Amino acid sequence: MPLIVILDDQETNRRIFERLASSIESGMVIRVFGDPSLALKEFGEGLVPDLIVTDYKMPVMDGEGFIRALRLLPGFSEIPVIVITVYEERSFRMRALEAGATDFLQSPVDHQEFVTRARNLLKLRKQQLLLESRAEVLAQELASSEESREAALRDSSERLAQVIDTVPAMVSASDLDGRILFANHFAGSFFGCDPADLVGKSSDALVDPDLIAPNRLLDRKVIRSGQPLMSFERQLTNSFGEKRVFLTTKSPLRDSHDAIMGVVTSALDITDRKRADEHLLHALQHDAVTSLPNRNFFQDRLRREVARARRGDRAFAIHLVDIDEFKSINDLLGHEAGDAYLREVASRLLALAGPDDFVARVGADDFGFLQSISGNTLPPADLADRIVTALGAPFEFGGKDAACGASVGVTLYPFDATEDERLMQNAELALQQAKQRGGNQFRLFETNMAERTRNHAALDSRLRLAIDRKEFELYYQPQVSSATGQIIGAEALLRWNSPDRGMVSPGEFLPRAEENGMIVPINEWVLMEACREAKSWHRMGLGPIKIGVNLSPIQFQRVNVSALVVKALSATQLDPRCLDLEITENIVMEDSESVVATLRQIAELGATISVDDFGTGYSSLNYIKQFPLDRIKIDQCFIRNMIDNPSDHAIVRTVANLGHSLGLTVVAEGVETEAQANLLKADGCDVMQGYFYGKPMPAADFIAMVRASRKLELTA
């Protein structure tokens, strides 16, 4: 069985290489050493391996010193040695080559490459041993009879030639002047001639024209040094014009007096194996849909780019690209169209890539773009902008057009980080920021992004605990009829009573709850609690006070809102006419068919529907009139300056008139002064809400306020 010796001072590396070596073929014998001197000792005592794998950098004796000592041992001059090194500098390779190394692998080692190279060297070693064995048998037979020495020598030479002709490798010998002394049948078949016709010709005939000069140099090196060369790969062209790859060795040819008389060259055809290995390696490193490098390949390239940048003081940028709403392509056009779209994205990214850039598919709808930065390249921000523009262009499939935006997160080496993992984290943080801001844009990494992410994570945790511990409360802001001055309703406003921080402003947690989806369970509780509280007012005899509850766009996307309303009304027995659900203009514009259906179901229950903050969004009354709306609430930004700003006053008056023309009740928000109240009443606003009438207050205070106003009405 083949014997492989592994030498490395690191136990972890020894285990990895031992496992890799064991996978080359069944029955493989592996010996591992951590100390070069122990390995040399056992070699001297009779341990003869077929392949040696050694680390270059070791504490007591480095790889160069070990190989020099190894080659001095009898019988170890041609045993193949693979050197594994983290150094990329040429000087380290040359020192190891001069010491007698056969091959190199760069650390971190690609596992497939390790197995392939080791297998090829073992196969070559096997052929060498076979030749040596057969030659030894022939030599023994020659020595067996002195009387028939000449006849046996002639017979053995013929038999040796026959043996060499059966070897599945190209074998030839040339003299000191480069004339061919011998070529086996394989060589003749490859070059399309009788091997005998090659004898006497220049050895130049055995290589391609561009290899003639290098081949002569190698032959002279063997003759001068008297040592075999390490195995090397080269490409030769056969008589049919087909190029094949050969693993080649060159050794000195000696006469009976051990004088060098020429060079023996043997070459093993490894073309099919290399093609299979290259195909497998390509499959392992590339995405099947786009043929781009995959995430593993991208990360490996990133590690190498960081290493090169450190040595050469270079800069580069990572662009992480996420396709916005890619799922819609699959849903609308099918997965075949989705795959075609991914290939189109790959094509557009490659069109933007420079000669030193690297593009990969790193996720289902995510791509990585490594941009090399030099004096004549685009600034990373400009490239990111071009990526967003290019990927936002329409895509045609099967006669149908579709388009998706793209979000891009960008980080720079060495300005943002110098480690590959941290760079990827930075790019992902920047990408998250781009998506959270609505997508179809790029964001450059900023140092406070990591802190912001940690703060978000902490807030998310506290919000989950707040839901479980029922730390939320509702405050109620009165709504007053402009005609009678009576309190006719209240808007339920959420507050967070944190045990650690006290009363937390909604502006500190509601935007994050919208982002992470926790607004859904929070608003479900708000709806139920507001309905329960309003029902209790009715039981107290405070009259049919209407309760207003805000709905989130996220609820319309994730849950059945009409079912939630039915559930709350059924559980609390609140009269549906006393429930007013407030939505934003964005909800109305989000998905008209779905939203219209939901709002009509709610309206059929008897609840009213208000458009909150009217005037800050799309403000299209022609569009809104298609929905079953009952009220519009003029945003306080127009109310605030209407006394001093004629434009704001004109907007308020116009909205009020248009709202009445559509049969809608008009509510003015943010009323803070008597002057504002009088002007709004004159402009026709039906309901007032704001600090002038009352701040948001706990339920008990609101009840007291209503009762006090009722007493004033009775005494008036």
Q: Count helices and strands (H / E) in the chain.
A: 27, 26
Q: What is the largest CA-CA distance in the chain?
A: 149
Task: Say what percent of the chain tops pLDDT 90.
Answer: 50
* DSSP-derived pairing of the beta strands 400-402 and 395-397: antiparallel
684 alpha-carbon distance from chain centroid? 58
Question: Is the pLDDT higher at 113 or at 692?
Answer: 692
pLDDT recorded at residue 153: 47
Residue 360: C-alpha distances to residues 298, 320, 369 (Å): 6, 10, 7
The answer to whether 253 touches 173, Cβ cutoff 8 Å, is yes
Question: Is the pLDDT higher at 587 or at 560?
Answer: 560
Region 461-488: what's the mean pLDDT?
Answer: 91
513 alpha-carbon distance from chain centroid? 27
Give the C-alpha separation, 390 to 348, whole Å: 7
Region 145-166: what's the mean pLDDT?
Answer: 57
Give the C-alpha separation, 705 to 537, whole Å: 12
Ranges of each domain in the chain: 3-109, 156-276, 289-446, 472-715
Q: Above 60 in pLDDT, residue 43? A: yes
Query: 3-109 belongs to which homologous superfamily?
Result: Response regulator (3.40.50.2300)
The angle subtended at Cα 330 by Cα 328 and Cα 333, nearest 5°, is 95
Region 564-581: what's the mean pLDDT?
Answer: 96
**pLDDT band at residue 588, thresholds of 50, 70 and 90?**
low
Give the C-alpha separation, 533 to 527, whole Å: 10
| CATH pick for 156-276 out of 3.40.50.620, 3.30.450.20, 3.20.20.150, 1.10.8.60 | 3.30.450.20
The pLDDT tens digits of the residues spanning 324-344 come to 988 888 877 888 889 999 999
The answer to whether 474 touches 529, Cβ cutoff 8 Å, is yes
The pLDDT tens digits of the residues spanning 590-623 come to 556 788 889 999 999 999 999 887 765 554 555 5
| CATH pick for 289-446 out of 3.40.50.2300, 3.30.70.270, 3.40.50.720, 3.40.50.300 | 3.30.70.270
Virtual CA dihedral for 669, 674, 676, 681, nearest 10 degrees?
80
Query: 472-715 belongs to which homologous superfamily?
Result: EAL domain (3.20.20.450)
3-state secondary structure of 343: helix
Residue 80: C-alpha distances to residues 28, 102, 118, 123, 229 (Å): 16, 5, 9, 11, 10
The pLDDT tens digits of the residues spanning 505-540 come to 788 888 888 878 888 999 999 999 999 999 999 999
The residue with tokens 């070459």 is 267
Averaged pLDDT score across all residues of the chain: 87
pLDDT recorded at residue 627: 81
Nearest C-alpha neighbor of 172 from the set 271, 77, 253, 272: 253
The answer to whether 195 touches 172, Cβ cutoff 8 Å, is no
pLDDT recorded at residue 255: 86
Nearest C-alpha neighbor of 251 from the set 276, 278, 223: 223
Nearest C-alpha neighbor of 321 from the set 442, 418, 156: 442
Give the C-alpha separation, 582 to 614, whole Å: 11
Q: Above 90 in pLDDT, residue 308? A: no
pTM over 0.85: no
Residue 334 makes CB contacts below 8 A (sequence gap 6+) with: none
**pLDDT band at residue 154, thresholds of 50, 70 and 90?**
low
Q: Above 50 in pLDDT, residue 383? A: yes
3-state percent helix, strand, coil for the chain, nearest multiple of 5: 50, 20, 30
* Of the candidate ranges 186-200, 383-397, 475-489, 617-631, the one whose mean pLDDT is the lowest: 617-631
* Of the candidate ranges 107-111, 115-119, 441-445, the one whose mean pLDDT is the lowest: 107-111
pLDDT recorded at residue 453: 67
**pLDDT band at residue 447, thresholds of 50, 70 and 90?**
confident
The sign of the CA dihedral 39, 40, 42, 47 is positive
pLDDT recorded at residue 136: 72
**pLDDT band at residue 589, thresholds of 50, 70 and 90?**
low
The pLDDT tens digits of the residues spanning 205-252 come to 999 999 999 999 999 999 999 999 988 999 999 999 999 999 999 999
**pLDDT band at residue 146, thresholds of 50, 70 and 90?**
low
The pLDDT tens digits of the residues spanning 276-294 come to 877 887 788 899 999 999 9
- Write a three-state SS string for 348-398: HHHHHCCCCCEEEECCCCEEEEEEEECCCCCCHHHHHHHHHHHHHCCEEEC
Question: Is the pLDDT higher at 157 or at 525?
Answer: 525
